[in-house]
Amino acid sequence: MKSVLILCTGNSCRSHLAEGLLRDMAGDLFLVHSAGSKPAGYVHPMAIEVMSEIGIDISQQSSKHLDQFLDQGIDTVITVCGHADQACPAFPGQVNRYHWPFDDPAHATGSESEVREVFRETREQIRRTLTAYVNGYREALNIEK
């Protein structure tokens, strides 16, 4: 099974949203991990909440440093923010690298409901991007889910 690492700077929001979504969509194809170049040490509670709204539990995911994965045989690295893309090291044997930047919902301001809506929008942007990625991957392999 191919191994995918999703990176962002803090590994608290975007990378966890993407990890949960990709694992849900393609856990039969990929071992999915996430990490950060400067991990926050927690998964943002609002990220956990908006993922639970769509039936995906990311509450057991944890914030990790990307160095943990340097010797893990990563096949694909996906960066979801500009800082992580710049800080991303070369992984031994890495075959694919994608950069899909998304705005950080942790920086959203406003009422709790307004911030929640920003997290939902980010989740949906990530979901659309990963859906296209997974559909293309399955098509290339001629695999249906």
Q: Which amino acid is at 96?
A: N
Token pair for 1: 């099974």
Q: Is 13 a catalytic residue?
A: no
Query: For residue 82, is it left (φ>0), alpha (ψ between -120 and 50) or beta?
Result: alpha
DSSP designation for 65 = B
Q: Please report, in angstroms and rounded to a whole number, the separation of the first and last CA atoms in the chain.
A: 15
Calpha distance 81→39 (Å, rounded)? 13
Catalytic residue among 8, 35, 48, 50: 8
Catalytic residue among 21, 88, 118, 126: 88
Distance of CA 61 to the CA centre of its chain: 11
Catalytic residue among 78, 81, 84, 126: 81
Give me the active site residues, please.
8, 81, 88
